[in-house]
Amino acid sequence: MRSETHREGLIFVISGPSGAGKTTLIHSILLKWPELRFSVSCTTRSPRGDEAQGKDYHFISTEEFQEGIRRGRFLEWAKVHGAYYGTDGKRVSEWLLEGFDVLLDIDVQGARQVVCHYPLARTVFVMPPSLEELEQRLRERDSDAPEKVALRLRAALDEIREAPWYEFLIVNDTREEAIADLEGIIRACRCHRLRRAHWVGSLLERARA
Q: Report the b/e string of 129-165 with b at 16+ CB within 10 A.
A: eeeeebbebbeeeeebeeeebeebbeebeebbebeee
Q: Which amino acid is at 116?
A: C
From the number of C-beta atoms within 10 Å of its C-beta (0-12, 13-18, 19+), residue 18 rates as buried
Q: Are strands 74-80 and 37-39 parallel, antiparallel or unpaired?
A: unpaired
For the chain, the residue count is: 209
Q: What is the CATH number of the domain that holds 191?
A: 3.40.50.300
| 46, part of any domain | no
Tell me the pLDDT band of 2, cut-offs 50, 70 and 90.
very low
From the number of C-beta atoms within 10 Å of its C-beta (0-12, 13-18, 19+), residue 60 rates as middle
Question: What range does the domain containing 144 cover?
Answer: 11-39+101-208
Q: How many domains does the chain have?
A: 1
pLDDT digits (tens, 9 = 90+) for 93-147: 999 999 999 999 998 989 999 999 999 999 999 999 998 888 888 888 656 677 8
| 50, part of any domain | no
| 58, part of any domain | no
